[in-house]
Structure 1
Amino acid sequence: ASATASKPVALAPMFADQNFYRSIPDLLRHLPLSRQQLYLQGADKNMEAILESLRAVFNTKYDRVSWALAPSIPLVSSDDFLMSCHELAMELGIKIHTHALESPLQKQMYPKRYQGGLIQHLSRLGILNEQWVLAHCVWLNATELALLAEHQVAIAHNPVANLRLGSGIADVRKMLDYGLKVGIGTDGASSSDNQNMYESVRMGALLSRIKTPQVTEWLSAQEVFFAATEGGAACLGLEGQVGRLQEGYLADMVFVDLSHINWQPLNHVLQQLVYVEDAQAVRHVMVDGEWMVRDGVLLRLSLADLMERATLAREQLQILEGLQTDQNQELLAAIGQFCACSH
């Protein structure tokens, strides 16, 4: 579907070269014995094979699709692997996207694995630069913020996903104060459900009020709208190409129906766009001057076909889950207890 998606896409295949359960300090011994034996037997993935397969993928060209690297989280990536990803990204001129300091668990685990913490470790490796985009960054301290700003790293803020997973509330005001580029995103469907950017924008504004009682420190409608447009473009490597209605930029536009109840009465366009619009009033969508949605109808994708494929995939997953329900529940309980104890 991405080759005919309704907006520019930076597609980043996610991968890692190490086993998750063996990489998290102390996690393995908290798992059921059968799982401990299973994960101890599994070998780490071949780094060279992963990178070679990625090179083959990146040779595939699609309209409006650019590629990026996505080592999932540094905890399950060896230093050699991260450095190789950096070298490949520099060679191809593409972005590196990874999840960083998302959860309380990661906050506790990184100092156990890396002296000083994750950001300090990446800096010591000499690989942090403007090619990197870090998702979430809920648990950054002042030293880490300064390092990210020094290396011109961008941050993808996912406010709804952070709530959905109980990760915490990122301090976007501090990120902006340090001069960091911040974009707003939804995260994946498995951790943010409905993929509604309007919801993410609204929550991005509202959650800043939780961080401080100082009204002047709250994110304004202008700031979150900028993060969702030009900030997002910077995270995707599309800065100066999309995110603004201006000559020389791609004609990417969303048209809303001003007769919809969301816009009645029409009072303050930006305030209503951020705090009221929920995608219900979206009428048309144009990408690079071409219509992708007209009168609420997708022109490049069959919604009925997509729904049918999704239903089939769900049925197949249900079969797999049914075969492993007891084991999965036992594993889930063990991981949940481990995370709670590490909080």
Structure 2
Amino acid sequence: MIARDPGGAERHALALAESPLQLLMTVEAVDAGHVRGPVAVHARRGVPGLEDAVRAFGTLPLPPTLDLDVRGHVRSTVGGLGATTLVLGDAFSGRAQALLAARDRWGGRSSGNQCRVVVVDDGLATAHLARVLASPGRLPLVRLGTPATQRRDALGLAARDGLLRRAELGRLRLVTAFEPPHDVREALERAGVRVARARLQWAARVAPAVGGRIGEPVVVVGSALVVDGLLRREPYLAWVRAQAQHGKVRYLPHRREDAGALAHVAAIPGVVVDRVGLPIELRLAGLRPPQRVAALPTSAIALLPATLAPGVRLDATVPEAGWWAPGVDDDLREHLVSIVRVAG
């Protein structure tokens, strides 16, 4: 039977995935029933690690309504503008905001033409999105640390207004593993945003069969803070070196770490650099006690407990003041390290 909206239109969803984590959380949202009907997942071409993740996911038992694709852009001919539901992993993405704006221009702003929007996790960006939508002020959806421009602010304001307009109609859902603070959640609910907890149940089911074996006693989750210019390289390498003081370490690179950055890591005695592939929530499911995982602030701190075996320790290190690169302001630092408290 074809799924239809109350108005009679055939129901189908378009999901835009711009990172392996967004891809994983989209699958989770479909598996949990937050997105119904046929779902076309379009993975952005050229994103490090994403095409590998799409190929790996294609070998897994995906929800039957979900179809994976890799394209450089989303075209109306694949249902982007006619979709009755949009699934977005990063509401701060210019591409996602442009798609939302195009959908509004195509369908108009009357209540009957407002498609549903489901926002899935993309790490700390989701926590920041919750705060922006809950704010009494009219704040643009612009990523923290991004230089302000008139065009970017205008697009961010339009995206914010479009999401809250849908919230008033009961057509905005936030599916996240990060529990918003009580005051933020109350403000979201007053605005009409439906908040659902992402529990990674699909990942927990499939992970034991796909994680693979890692023999080293310690796994270090690579961070993009250095290549993003937020953390100094020397203290970061010293932190990795400290993890290898008492035995070998398997280093799982962040997808944005380039060959130059990884060469510094690989030169540390006892460190074996892995390849980018499956999201670490799946990759590390095969660990067993007394193995442990070490990480700097990252979304994985909140997500890994769903798939790690009982007894595998997860150690999160908050960077010391001297580790940060010059020019990183206090608000951005606080945002980046807040994941440790949120997950705890």
Q: TM-score scaled to structure 1, two decimals?
A: 0.33
Structure with greater helix share of residues: 1
Larger Rg: 1
Instruction: Give the alignment's TM-score, normalised by structure 2.
Output: 0.33
